[in-house]
């Protein structure tokens, strides 16, 4: 986890949450850890990533996407 994401977690001022996340990181060994807040930048990051990896598809109506959870 980079310093910015760690600062986001520390901003919660909740040691239990930090320990749970640290344990999950140790167990799962992800290539990357990103902490998402309700900031406009973070929300936009998630939206753009979902489109980039094909999880979401743009609709003709600006600002709207579609997502299917099944087959």
The answer to whether residues 31 and 62 belong to one domain is no
57: pLDDT strictly greater than 90: yes
Give mean pLDDT, residues 27-49: 95
Whole-structure pTM value: 0.73
* Together in a domain, 1 and 31: yes
**Residue 71 pLDDT grade (very low, low, confident, very high; cuts 50, 70, 90):** low
The residue length of the chain stands at 71
Same domain (yes/no): 55, 31:
no
Question: Domain range for residue 65?
Answer: 36-71
Sign of torsion over alpha carbons 53, 54, 56, 62: positive
54 and 23 belong to one structural domain: no
Mean pLDDT, the chain, integer: 93
Q: Are residues 12 and 42 in the same domain?
A: no
**27 lies in the same domain as 40:** no
Q: Are residues 7 and 27 in the same domain?
A: yes
3-state SS assignment for residue 51: helix
């Amino acid at each position: 986890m980079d310093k910015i994401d760690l600062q986001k977690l520390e901003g919660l001022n909740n040691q239990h949450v930090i320990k749970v996340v640290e344990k999950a990181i140790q167990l799962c060994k992800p290539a990357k850890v990103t902490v998402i807040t309700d900031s406009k930048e973070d929300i936009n990051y998630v939206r753009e990533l979902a489109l980039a990896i094909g999880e979401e598809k743009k609709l003709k109506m600006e600002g709207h996407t579609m997502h299917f959870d099944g087959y």
